[in-house]
């Protein structure tokens, strides 16, 4: 006997993974150069040199026990201090080592934070378009999942629709900016309007509604776009951060939860995150990766390659007639499917070995996602296929 719901989760593969694996198979048949795989959000620029130097320096240390040993569950104090100091200096906002809990990336940070908020009848909101894993993270960690429909004109947060979705059971709302899949960065004005609403509703309900700020793309912004530091706008913020994208380390599994002192019950809530992590099997985040994060707390990625890909794809696709909000961050484009049905459009593209992700799982079935963390050369080779597909739709 085993759990049917876990079996279902383990066997219902995501459509992104399906496309990616299809691409690998097709490459064997038609040749790698004839497959245009825009499915995965796997960083395509190498980790910065400072990161690679930090890894090799640590691995070559004489006292390997201090590099590879268990650490305290929240992480090494010195590593948390280095990250806290960087956040304090960058955002002019006090963050202390005691506000931080290292995790194995953003996914465990989110699941622990959700679990920590999962009081009886708890509800967690996500704003479409959203990262599809939010649904299982919430539904299998003791809360109900509710979706705020997208504002498909701008992909900013539709604050009036958030208000309509809030109930006295709402414990948190996940805010992901820069956003996967739209690449949109929520503006300061938009976030301030959300903060005003949540402040009013928290008072009305008699308990704080937390923002879960899912920020793996915080450093991935273009044209000087601002990613406001959310705790400075709304106190009851739980940051779930990851180095997967910013330092190109997705396989190394390192990130953190940060709950600043201004959040209601901040220290108790961080203790609940520790408890939730414990039952989810967290012992500590990898010691080596914590120390790399500490040494590289002030290292930022070189985004030139992503920016070039973004501009090339956006300019070409819009010139062919595709509609798309220009992304200011992350490494995705979220494009309106010609003909309106993104699943049908993606199926047609797949027949030409162009792999794009239909937006149904992101909460927007009329859009498809293109990952721009790919080789520039592949983008150039794929453009005629994009052009043919839209011209055939218009005929």
**Cα distances (angstroms) measured from residue 76 to each of 131, 223, 294, 316:** 30, 36, 9, 47
Does 180 interact with ligand PLP (rule: CB under 6 A)?
yes
Per CB under 6 A, the list member of 75, 158, 172, 255 interacting with ligand PLP is 255
Nearer to ligand PLP, 113 or 263 (CB): 113
Contact region with ligand PLP (CB under 6 A), list: 16-24, 50-58, 88-96, 99-107: 99-107
| 8 A C-beta contact, residue 256 and residue 79 | no
Q: What angle do CA 58, 255, 24 make, to 5 degrees?
A: 90
Contact region with ligand PLP (CB under 6 A), list: 103-111, 267-275, 279-287, 357-365: 103-111
Per CB under 6 A, the list member of 43, 74, 183, 216 interacting with ligand PLP is 216
Please report how many Cα atoms fall inside a 13 Å half-sphere around the Cα of residue 21, on the Cβ side: 6
- With 0-12 / 13-18 / 19 or more C-beta atoms within 10 angstroms meaning exposed / middle / buried, residue 149 is middle
| 8 A C-beta contact, residue 82 and residue 89 | no
Does 290 interact with ligand PLP (rule: CB under 6 A)?
no
Does 106 interact with ligand PLP (rule: CB under 6 A)?
yes
Least distance from ligand PLP to the Cβ atom of residue 217, Å: 7
Does 306 interact with ligand PLP (rule: CB under 6 A)?
no
x/- track of binding to ligand PLP for residues 26-45 (CB under 6 A): ---------------x----
CA distance 333 to 278: 37
Does 250 interact with ligand PLP (rule: CB under 6 A)?
yes
Give the interface size with ligand PLP as a residue count (CB under 6 A). Answer: 13
Per CB under 6 A, the list member of 37, 123, 151, 214 interacting with ligand PLP is 214
Q: Cα dihedral sign for 368, 323, 134, 120?
A: negative
Per CB under 6 A, the list member of 51, 107, 117, 173 interacting with ligand PLP is 107
**Cα distances (angstroms) measured from residue 192 to each of 127, 130, 157, 346:** 16, 20, 11, 36
Say which residues have a Cβ less than 8 Å from residue 374's Cβ, sequence separation at least 6. Answer: 37, 38, 44, 309
**Site for ligand PLP, rule CB under 6 A:** 41, 105-107, 131, 176, 180, 214, 216, 242, 244, 250, 255
């Amino acid at each position: 006997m085993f759990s049917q719901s876990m079996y279902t989760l383990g066997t219902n593969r995501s459509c992104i993974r399906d496309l990616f694996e299809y691409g690998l198979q097709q490459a064997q048949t038609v040749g790698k150069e004839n497959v245009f795989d825009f499915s995965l959000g796997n960083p395509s620029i190498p980790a910065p040199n400072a990161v690679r130097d930090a890894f090799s320096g640590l691995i070559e240390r004489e006292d390997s026990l201090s590099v590879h040993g268990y650490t305290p569950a929240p992480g090494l104090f010195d590593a948390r201090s280095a990250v806290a100091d960087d956040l304090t200096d960058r955002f002019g906002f006090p963050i202390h080592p005691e506000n931080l809990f290292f995790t194995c990336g953003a996914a465990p940070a989110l699941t622990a934070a959700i679990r920590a908020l999962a009081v009886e009848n708890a509800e967690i909101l996500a704003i479409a378009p959203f990262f599809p894993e939010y649904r299982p993270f919430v539904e299998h960690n003791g809360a109900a999942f509710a979706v705020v429909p997208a504002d498909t004109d701008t992909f900013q947060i539709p604050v009036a629709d958030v208000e309509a979705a809030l109930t006295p059971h709402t414990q948190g709302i996940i805010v992901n900016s820069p956003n996967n899949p739209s690449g949109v960065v929520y503006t300061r004005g938009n976030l301030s309007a959300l903060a005003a609403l949540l402040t009013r509703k928290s008072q009305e309900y008699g308990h704080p509604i937390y923002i879960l700020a899912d920020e793996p793309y915080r450093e991935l912004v273009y044209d000087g776009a601002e990613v406001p530091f959310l705790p400075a706008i709304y106190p009851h913020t739980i940051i779930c951060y990851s180095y997967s994208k910013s330092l190109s380390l997705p396989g190394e599994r390192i990130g953190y939860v940060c709950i600043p002192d201004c959040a209601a019950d901040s220290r108790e809530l961080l203790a609940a995150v520790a408890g939730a992590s414990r039952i989810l099997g967290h012992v500590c985040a990898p010691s080596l990766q914590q120390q790399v994060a500490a040494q590289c707390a002030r290292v930022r990625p070189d985004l030139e390659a992503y920016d070039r890909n973004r501009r090339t794809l956006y300019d070409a696709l819009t010139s062919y007639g595709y509609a798309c909000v220009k992304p200011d961050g992350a490494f995705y484009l979220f494009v309106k499917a010609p003909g309106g049905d993104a699943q049908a459009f993606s199926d047609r593209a797949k027949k030409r070995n162009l792999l794009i992700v239909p937006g149904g799982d992101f909460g927007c079935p009329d859009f498809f996602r293109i990952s721009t963390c790919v080789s520039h050369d592949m983008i150039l080779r794929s453009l005629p296929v994009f052009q043919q597909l839209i011209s055939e739709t218009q005929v």
